[in-house]
Structure 1
Amino acid sequence: MRVVSTAPTRQRLIDWGREEWAAFRRGLIKILVVTNLVLGAYYLLWRGTASLNWDAWLFALALFAAELYSYISSFLFGVTVFRLRERGEPPPAPAGLRVDVYITCYNEPVELVRKTVRAAVAIRYPHQTYLLDDGDNPAMRAMACEEGCGYITRSAVWKGFDRHAKAGNLMNALEQTTGDYILVLDADQVPLPQILDRTLGYFNDPRVAFVQTPQYFINVPPGDPFGSQAPLFYGPIQQGKDGWNAAFFCGSNAVLRREALARTGIHFFVRDVERRIRRALREADTVIRRAQRKLMRTERQQIAPALRALCRAVSDARRELNRGDTFQEVTERFQHRVEEAARMVVAADLQQIMADLAEIQAAEAAEIMRSLHDEAVLAELARRDRSPLAAIETVRQLVPLLVNEAMDYLPISTISVTEDMSTSMRLHATGWRSVYHDEILAHGLAPEDLRSALQQRLRWAQGTIQVFLRENPLLLPGLSIGQRIAYLDTMWSYFSGVPTVIYLIAPVLFLMFGLLPVNALSAEFFWRLTPYLLVNQLLFAVISWGRPTWRGQQYSLALFPLWIKAVVTAAANVWFGKKLGFIVTPKTRQAGRYLGLVRWQLLMMVLITVAIGVGLSQLALGWRSDGMPVLVNVFWAVYDLIMLSVVIDAALYQPPEEQ
């Protein structure tokens, strides 16, 4: 009698069940996304046209604006996950690829980095491992030598230039290595031996620029008090972006194609140089026209031809740029025309000087006149401040100065402290593809105290806002509509600080002062709002199925002061040049309790608690008769307290004593 094993059959059934559930879930997500957007639009249309309480118009409009913000957030999130992509088993890695592994570090503990270096050297696929030490630490160099790892620090060419933090560290390494593919690891991200075997196969598609894998942290205590794990982002959100070919490069645990970085760097270098030249020409045009207006109020009409020549030079340069002439040709011709205009001014000045001196020293005047035919003399005079028209010198130097500032092309974006997002968006804008492989292939370390966690989140938020203000995805040429929405979804989320304040203060204003932003909390109001909220929560539950996302939801609301600070400081940096600095997240616990870091949240919690007490007391004493609105706002306020309470646990958290 032959015994047939049922294990393979059982496994096939399990796999089939998973595939069926995955397909059903993706279809359900699409239905819920559309339903949620329709119900939200239906509710907001009614809110904006029939329910605003104009007796409290400022409060009413503020809350309505916050609701519009939330609806846009829901729209962006819904569109992002609408094409959620689950890739499954990756293609096998081809043999013979030249791969470099970069481990970026800056003043981390040597023994911590050693674990990452040792694991990187042990990766199975043939490769070269390099430690990129931006701290130039002799102990780190010695450790790298002991572990058989290459060691790279900044070359001398960086002296005197902006170092660009981690982006500069990576670019410096790219200049000193030759691998066609680069695995980037943070100092604390310990890779598994199969990381390259599980990712390199995607590069069989020559259009793939990078493959990103999740970041997972092994030191997160039970309850995740700092919200370090990001299962929603490193799951449905990245999978949704992947469906639109918009998965993010997240700075670590990613493999990048060198060719894609180089080509994209050249593309944006050319774009930036052209932009600089056009800006210089605009500034030159402004300087010339201002000089012409001043000239009309003087008797120096003999230099008017020079100014007209400058105007023609600017027009000719613009026409040549539009025609596609090289930047070198355009700038050289422009400079030559400016030199000619400068000589015309000098000649006019000398003629005036000669006339003034004719009655005093005819001989000296004649000598100066003869110098008009000496090109060397004219050039020297044109370079000095003797010209009465300083605009000539200003215009002469605009273009070369702006072009020289560009230096070499930059394969890693430097417009933001989050170089990873900006670089991936540029890669997508240039036509490259990305892959999100949802498999944990490295184990990292999360911040172990609230201060470090907040520093990390502030840097992420600031960098994201910098990218939004400098290269808005809605305006960046080359992106598809889906990519624009996928990038905007993440950027938009960091503007939630002010809307959150409005949501938090709304029940307080009603419970304490009776201010109601709607005409009445009637049945009509709840019949329109409740279905929208329920479908919204159902959509979120289906999207995050099997992933613990509650802590992330709490922090998205509770960190409202941080989001406001990020927007203000990033805008000050982009618009006014105020430096942000680059704070490397500490990899070891910083001692202390941090209630002072969450003082605004604590103040809001006290205010909400007082408001609940006031509202319920007034209701119990019969001082107000609006029982249902009071209870609704009390429920709302209690929910806010639960969401904000996460910061107390984080501020007071102490790790267990080591045995």
Structure 2
Amino acid sequence: MNDFLYLAPTVGVFVFGIIILQFFDKKSPLGRGILVSVFFLLTVRYLLWRGFYTLNLATKLTTAISLFIFILEFITLIVPHFELFLGIKRNYRHQEADFWEATVKENQYSPTVDIFIPTYNESIAILRRTIIGCQAIEYPHKKVYLLDDGNRKEVEELAFQLGCNYIAREEHQHAKAGNLNHALKLTNGDLVTVFDADFVPCKNFLTRTVGFFQKPELGLLQTHQHYYNQDTVARNLGLENILGHPTEECSSRLNQPMRDYYNSVMCYGSSFIVRRSALNEVNGFYTDSVAEDYFTTILLLGKKYEVIYLTERLSAGLVPENIPALFRQRMRWAQGTMEGFFVSANPLTIKGLNFHQRIIYLTGVIHWFTSISILISLVIFPLCFIFKMPPLVTNVHDWLSYFLPLMVFQFTIFYRICDNSTAKIVADIYSLILAFPVSLAIIKTLVKPFSGGFKVTPKGICTDKAIFRWNLALPLIYAFISTLSSLIICIYLLFNSESVNSLIVELRFAYSSLEIGIFWNLYYLILLTVAILAFVEKPQKDFYPWLNINTSINIKINNNIQLYGFSYSLSEKGVKISFPDNYSLPLIKHDSTVELHFNELNLTLNGIVKDVNFRSRKVDLLIEYPQLNLSEYRTLVEFLFCSPHRWQTKIVPNEIQSILILLNVVKNKILLFPFQKKQNKLGRYKHLSIKAELDIINY
């Protein structure tokens, strides 16, 4: 019975957290304040216990190692609290946007707007989509410019074909920032909007944003960034329709509204609108760093302009489409942030910023260093047990009383604090995946700043087979092997009383140290397993993204048979159609020609049946468009990407659901893999028999 008393603090904080979550809305500052304050008190309580009662002081070596790990743990736990306390207050500007939008629609305010699309090596298909989206924006006083820094003939021809202004330059200094500054000299709009080559705006982008600039103190407005393709890590784990885009959503839904409250918003480099006169005051976009967006924002703040954030999904783009591209992007971001120590726009020293702004930018810088802390912990912690030097000495009862309440409370509130954007365990896995490349970028930049140069994140990647990125996964594979070795040693020592005496620790703490070691090794083995599985790239054969869009379609077959169905997935390439239960269908063969009429678009297209899928009482069709003219393609792109309210907030699993889902990933991909392979072979013959009978290919 006494053993259960040690769980009382854990049960107490869990119940308290659930009560607060139920009684307060997720946007309530009071509710967030209570949760963050309790979390901070639990953290301080735990760190005091760790610092005064758990260090292994048996020898000089164990003392040094134990202190070092404690310092890493201290940094990892304390740093987030700066953002959490600042994030108690957040700005949401939906009602303000409604007010300003009315003035724009009534022509009370109608500044001219130049829309810039900087490009370097993106594909024609991606550029075509973005140009059409920008041209579809419903605002009369706009001009769209394609800024080609690759001087490609086919890009110039594309601009001419679509009726888009084309700008190129002979010299290509300062990468994207130089490209934008060159265009500034050749244009004269009152406001400037920038969309990266893969970002497609909604039709109401300008009507929802332009009106804010009636406030003369406003310099720049950043909008929420949505993504229309699947997150790389989630897709590789088979969770693309479940996890969404965790890291991007957490930043946009937690950090940016907090930064907005303190006038410290960070520009993303795309989907923003800026006042030209404000840009002129800071001599255009900042060119001394790869993070031109980040430091341009700081310069505007230094001139006392406001930089605000609108939490509305008014555009959508592409996230990195494979692990190498993801690493390149995050390394560039880390590099850009670290270059702040060496440039004139250093947010810690530049004139004009207030105390809160400097603290917020400082926490942003420190946040990147947690990757180094994670990486070192992955190396050192298992080695401590391998060499029989436990880094902490305590008994299990105290550990249950001090550590477990903190961990449980953190897992309880993390999902809510992050505005339901991700779970703690999912965030931990992403941190593990990115720890090594980010740490490498930080160290490289601090040792030799400005050596990296601007590297564009590749877009439009297709692969027809699975690839294991073992070379990129090597640091995590090493961590997995060392953690597994540590776990085996802990278990062996725990059940071998004679070997326990060999531990460099006070004997009365030996068994408890091993039990705690087993827990941590098991926990990190699960995280590392999932992280390594994310390096197995799934085939990505479709260049065009498929969107989950439901719209009614009339289908005409053989010029006389009329069918009625609904799309459940739609792209620029084709449509996937389902029919109601028990719907009577004629025999549909592969390569049949059909006529599709999209009722909502009033658009009629010819199509070819590429797949017929029989499942239970339903039949699905995959139909591709053989060829679209420009008018048809415009209509389709505007419907797919530009409709107002097209992009909605995704509901992602909470903490408990995420844990169960990730455990299921480990079970399915590792434990059941041999059985799945056998089932797949059996299933293939079944499909072949159906295919032969119905003359269907690619069933």
TM-score normalised to the size of structure 2? Answer: 0.66
The question of 1:456 aligning with 2:329 is answered yes
Q: Which moved more, 1:216-225 or 1:432-441?
A: 216-225
Q: Which amino acid aligns with 1:28?
A: G
Which of 72, 75, 96 aligns to 2:81? It is 75
The question of 1:584 aligning with 2:584 is answered no
Q: Distance in 2 between matches of 1:51 and 1:615?
A: 18
Deviation at 1:656, TM superposition (A): 5.3
The residue number in structure 2 matching 1:245 is 263
Q: Describe the superposition over 1:466-486 as per-residue Cα deviations: whole angstroms up to 9, x where unpaired.
A: 124434433332212221222
Q: Do the aligned partners of residues 445 and 202 (structure 1) sit closer, same or farther apart at CA in structure 2, a change above 3 Å counting?
A: same
Indicate the SS of the match to 1:231.
helix
Indicate the SS of the match to 2:249.
coil
Indicate the SS of the match to 1:443.
strand
Q: Distance in 2 between matches of 1:656 and 1:587?
A: 13
Q: Which amino acid aligns with 1:261?
A: L
Q: Distance in 2 between matches of 1:634 and 1:449?
A: 34
The residue number in structure 1 matching 2:572 is none
Q: Distance in 1 between matches of 2:55 and 2:346?
A: 33
Q: Do the aligned partners of residues 602 and 63 (structure 1) sit closer, same or farther apart at CA in structure 2, a change above 3 Å counting?
A: same
Deviation at 1:629, TM superposition (A): 2.5
Q: Distance in 2 between matches of 1:28 and 1:635?
A: 32
The residue number in structure 1 matching 2:145 is 130
Q: How does 1:75-224 map to 2 (within 5 A)?
A: 75-89=81-95, 90=97, 91-93=99-101, 94=104, 95=107, 96-126=110-140, 127-154=142-169, 159=171, 163-220=173-230, 223-224=234-235
Q: Describe the superposition over 1:322-359 as per-residue Cα deviations: whole angstroms up to 9, x where unpaired.
A: xxxxxxxxxxxxxxxxxxxxxxxxxxxxxxxxxxxxxx
Q: Do the aligned partners of residues 427 and 141 (structure 1) sit closer, same or farther apart at CA in structure 2, a change above 3 Å counting?
A: same
Q: Describe the superposition over 1:79-103 as per-residue Cα deviations: whole angstroms up to 9, x where unpaired.
A: 3312122222313333321101111
Q: Do the aligned partners of residues 463 and 499 (structure 1) sit closer, same or farther apart at CA in structure 2, a change above 3 Å counting?
A: same
Q: Distance in 2 between matches of 1:23 and 1:619?
A: 45
Percent identity between the two aligned chains: 30
Preserved CA contact (<8 Å) 1:447 1:588: no
Q: Describe the superposition over 1:482-536 as per-residue Cα deviations: whole angstroms up to 9, x where unpaired.
A: 2122222222111123311343245413432331233424644543333433443
Which of 480, 489, 492 aligns to 1:605? It is 480
Preserved CA contact (<8 Å) 1:211 1:434: yes
Q: Which amino acid aligns with 2:179?
A: N
Which of 344, 347, 353 aligns to 1:479? It is 353
Preserved CA contact (<8 Å) 2:126 2:460: no
Q: Distance in 2 between matches of 1:518 and 1:593?
A: 37
Preserved CA contact (<8 Å) 1:209 1:257: yes
Higher strand share: 2
Residues paired across the two proteins, number: 489
Q: Distance in 2 between matches of 1:106 and 1:521?
A: 59
Which of 418, 421, 424 aligns to 2:294? It is 421
Which of 52, 56, 59 aligns to 1:53? It is 56
Preserved CA contact (<8 Å) 2:236 2:538: no
Q: Distance in 1 between matches of 2:391 and 2:520?
A: 14
Indicate the SS of the match to 2:195.
strand
Preserved CA contact (<8 Å) 1:80 1:485: no
Which of 438, 463, 466 aligns to 1:563? It is 438
Q: Distance in 1 between matches of 2:55 and 2:26?
A: 42
Preserved CA contact (<8 Å) 2:263 2:306: yes
Deviation at 1:594, TM superposition (A): 1.4
Q: Which amino acid aligns with 1:615?
A: C
Preserved CA contact (<8 Å) 1:218 1:445: yes
Q: Distance in 2 between matches of 1:504 and 1:569?
A: 20
Q: Distance in 2 between matches of 1:42 and 1:425?
A: 37
Q: Describe the superposition over 1:2-50 as per-residue Cα deviations: whole angstroms up to 9, x where unpaired.
A: xxxxxxxxxxxxxxxx9x9547632121122223333333433443344
Preserved CA contact (<8 Å) 2:286 2:296: yes
The residue number in structure 2 matching 1:624 is 500
Indicate the SS of the match to 1:255.
strand
Q: How does 1:417-566 map to 2 (within 5 A)?
A: 417-470=290-343, 471-521=345-395, 523-549=397-423, 550-566=425-441
Q: Distance in 2 between matches of 1:247 and 1:31?
A: 25
Structure 2: gaps spanning 5 or more residues: 1-20, 238-243, 502-509, 543-609, 611-699
Q: Do the aligned partners of residues 454 and 194 (structure 1) sit closer, same or farther apart at CA in structure 2, a change above 3 Å counting?
A: same
Preserved CA contact (<8 Å) 2:254 2:419: no
Q: Which amino acid aligns with 2:517?
A: N
Indicate the SS of the match to 1:607.
helix
Higher Rg of the two aligned structures:
1
Deviation at 1:196, TM superposition (A): 0.7
TM-score normalised to the size of structure 1? Answer: 0.70
Q: Describe the superposition over 1:434-472 as per-residue Cα deviations: whole angstroms up to 9, x where unpaired.
A: 221111111211222111111111111111111244344
The residue number in structure 1 matching 2:46 is 43
Preserved CA contact (<8 Å) 2:219 2:275: yes
Deviation at 1:181, TM superposition (A): 0.9
Deviation at 1:647, TM superposition (A): 3.6
Q: Distance in 1 between matches of 2:158 and 2:388?
A: 66
Q: Which amino acid aligns with 1:260?
A: A
Q: Do the aligned partners of residues 100 and 555 (structure 1) sit closer, same or farther apart at CA in structure 2, a change above 3 Å counting?
A: same
Q: Which moved more, 1:534-543 or 1:484-493?
A: 534-543
The residue number in structure 2 matching 1:373 is none
Deviation at 1:145, TM superposition (A): 1.2
Preserved CA contact (<8 Å) 2:392 2:513: no
Q: Distance in 2 between matches of 1:477 and 1:130?
A: 34
Q: Which amino acid aligns with 2:369?
A: F
Q: Describe the superposition over 1:580-628 as per-residue Cα deviations: whole angstroms up to 9, x where unpaired.
A: 1211111122654311112111111111112112211232344338443
Deviation at 1:650, TM superposition (A): 2.8
Q: Distance in 2 between matches of 1:517 and 1:202?
A: 55
Q: Which amino acid aligns with 1:638?
A: L
Q: Which amino acid aligns with 2:458?
A: P
Q: Distance in 2 between matches of 1:23 and 1:552?
A: 19
Indicate the SS of the match to 1:434.
strand
Q: Which amino acid aligns with 1:461?
A: A
The residue number in structure 2 matching 1:652 is 536
Indicate the SS of the match to 1:440.
strand
Indicate the SS of the match to 1:215.
strand
Q: Distance in 2 between matches of 1:124 and 1:21?
A: 39
Which has the higher relative contact order, 1 or 2, with Cα contacts under 8 A spaced 6 or more apart? 1
Indicate the SS of the match to 2:192.
strand
Indicate the SS of the match to 2:150.
coil
Q: Do the aligned partners of residues 642 and 181 (structure 1) sit closer, same or farther apart at CA in structure 2, a change above 3 Å counting?
A: farther
Which of 458, 469, 488 aligns to 1:594? It is 469
Q: Distance in 1 between matches of 2:382 and 2:346?
A: 36
Preserved CA contact (<8 Å) 1:131 1:150: yes
The question of 1:29 aligning with 2:32 is answered yes
Q: Distance in 1 between matches of 2:452 and 2:427?
A: 26
